[in-house]
Structure 1
Amino acid sequence: MVYKIGICDDQVVEQRYLQSLVEKWAKSENHQVEIEVYASAESFLFREETLTLDLLLLDIEMGAMDGVSLAKHLRQAQQELPIIFISGYSDYLADGYDVSALHYLLKPVNPEKLFEVLNRGIKQVALEEQVLLFESSGTTHSVRIKNIRYIEVQSNYVTVHANESIRMKRPLKEIEELLDASFFRIQRSYIVQLNWIKKITRKEVILNDETKLPLARGKYEALNQQMIRYL
């Protein structure tokens, strides 16, 4: 597979540095990449409709339109493109959370840290393509893993909450065996996908869509450790 990676930065020196790092990462991981470079947010938007990027390295401090504004535009347009923010300051961390950025890297970019984040991004791209098949009432449903927010069990029935809710009579343990490390069982009746988690407290897990689910006693530390390992 060829991964298409965009670099949007208004400084030529930074463009070349990031491009060299991406090429070095691709060589070390035996990946093929196509790199697109944009000198401003405006030049990126000019080609937006024809872009098919897998990842975007986005500088925050640019000209008339900054990186945060561009990221917000992409999210409003329902584009789920993984974004890695690049900045010389830590002041914009909150903005990164607001647009669900994959990560926030400070300049000068550390090569090893960037490589780690790029590997995470590739995992996310792979997740985009994966599907699970569920049979309910004689109908087989194909569900993208990335769209599964959480799975719950009530009595003998399991409900998969994705773009639609699919209810089936099947043991939760059978469903759990189909899932990878991006899922975590937060309580006897609930399994959550880590990518959908917005906030964790001692008593509950809050998802990006503001759904609140109970967190079992003793699961708080384990969930945080799983988040660190996976994300």
Structure 2
Amino acid sequence: MKVMIVDDELPARERLSSLLESMDDCQVVATASNGIQAVRLAQEQEPDIVLMDIRMPGMDGLEAARHIADMATPPAVIFVTAYEEHAFEAFETHAVGYLLKPVRRERLQEALDQARRPNRAQIGHLRNPATGGKKQARGHICARVRGNLELIPLECVHYFQADQKYVTVRHDGGEVLIEESLKALEEEFADGFLRIHRNALVARDRFGAMEKNAQGGFEVVLKHTAERLEVSRRHVAQVRRFLKSL
């Protein structure tokens, strides 16, 4: 089995590597110190199993696992945590597996054996992990570009615009398409984005002004780019209130 280790602490990565080296059927193909590295290396190395720390700076293990689950053939993820109550709250029902630090060889072997054949419920859990309440908002948007996953930091996103079954994500580096509903994005990112139309959400920090167009309707002018997006009649008052609050 090809295994990838993800932990922000070097001693933890070294301990897991040492334990895996003592097992005949395991090969460590990559190590990562944060979630962003984990997503990129998972695509490059295509591991069978990922041993993933939960609490890491930047992108934590929960979000990284959600992005990794979008791979064509996602690896099984075993979460590694020092917080037993957190593991039970998040993964008790559909966990691929979890280990408590410090990791013991016997428990690691058991978890690896259980993770060899993750069932549909387990994979589904990675796509929509139960976090005991409202799902924590992601820090990145994940898009499939030419067969690879591309991570876009949320602070770089200008707006989301729906077009039939796809949503265009306009960001600092261009634009990509994702297969997510605008409603779900609005619920997840309500603190950072505002709906201006049934087909558009705009990042709150990208609003420049709202102006009338030649047809008598309203448009939002985005900061820095001067790009314009239509505001529907039902959302004009809400956008006006927001702009006045700035």
Task: Give the alignment's TM-score, normalised by structure 2.
Answer: 0.44
Structure number with bigger Rg:
2
Task: Give the alignment's TM-score, normalised by structure 1.
Answer: 0.47
